[in-house]
Amino acid sequence: MDDAAFNTESVAADQLKAFIERIERLEEEKAGIAGDIKDVYAEAKGNGFDTKVLRKIISLRKRDYAERQEEEAILELYMQALGMPI
């Protein structure tokens, strides 16, 4: 193997290692944030809030108004088809 090929492989290996280390660091941060979110839900539940409803509201706030309206219209259509009260 010549020096150029070895140097290229070394650079690629170093770059790969750097990517993996960054991802690992971010995964650790994500786990910490997930724990913090869990704590906030527990605190909200302790104050009498329904965490299932909180999660639904957060999910709805992530989507735009038109997308929510479309989903609600389809939901109503399906419920009517099943004879469920709206």
Indicate whether 40 and 77 sit together in one domain: no
Indicate whether 65 and 77 sit together in one domain: yes
- Domain that includes residue 76, residue range: 50-85
Asked whether residue 4 carries a pLDDT value surpassing 70, the answer given is no
State residue 72 phi and psi, 5-degree precision.
Answer: -65, -40
Indicate whether 2 and 40 sit together in one domain: yes
Q: How far is CA 86 from the centre of its chain?
A: 30
Domain count for the chain: 2
Indicate whether 37 and 73 sit together in one domain: no
Name the band, by pLDDT with cuts 50, 70 and 90, for residue 70: very high
For the chain, the average pLDDT equals 93
| Gyration radius of the chain over CA positions | 24
Contact 40, 32 (CB under 8 A): no
Model pLDDT, residue 11: 83
Please state, in angstroms and rounded to a whole number, the distance separating the CA atoms of residues 67 and 69.
5
